[in-house]
Amino acid sequence: MSSSDGHRPSLAHRLVDTSRVPQDVRVSYYLWVLDVVLSIISALYVVFVGGGPVIAGVIGFVFALLLAVLYLYCAVRMKEGRPWARMVLTLLASLSAIALIGSIVQGMFGLSLLGPIIAVFAAVLMWSRNANPWFRQRR
């Protein structure tokens, strides 16, 4: 993604610019960003309210931040039409769906289910009929 003067747009611009992006891809991108924000909030909750050892909470938070960066990077690249990013996010959403099913089977309900549900909806939108041409033209 280059601008007309040959310079790459800033990271901030790449994060917020959804011009020319098909609606299904745009909504999927926003859902992935929401999922990232929720995972960071959840990790912060565990650190400050979790009640477990502080070091475990901090390690979990660092791990959550690293995953959030991966999700966000892939979401931006997906929004820019990169098929490989759509595949990575699909894999991550599949793992979330498996975790979601496991949580439901174990009788665990609550806000912790929100992230996996969002990821599944985001993945479905990435593969919609309206989104597919966006990825074909960007190969």
d(CA 39, CA 60): 11
Q: Cβ distance 78 to 86 under 8 Å?
A: yes
pLDDT of residue 1: 47
Query: Inter-axis angle of helices 83-105 and 114-126, to 10 degrees?
Result: 140
Alpha-carbon 90 to chain mean position: 10
pTM score:
0.85
Model pLDDT for residues 52-85, shown as the tens digit of each residue: 788 888 888 899 899 999 999 999 999 999 999 9
Q: Could you tell me the sign of the dihedral formed by the alpha carbons of 48, 70, 3, 16, in that order?
A: negative
pLDDT of residue 18: 83
Report which listed range, 3-12, 34-43, 54-63, is most confident.
34-43
**Is the per-residue pLDDT at 5 higher than 60?**
no
d(CA 47, CA 59): 9
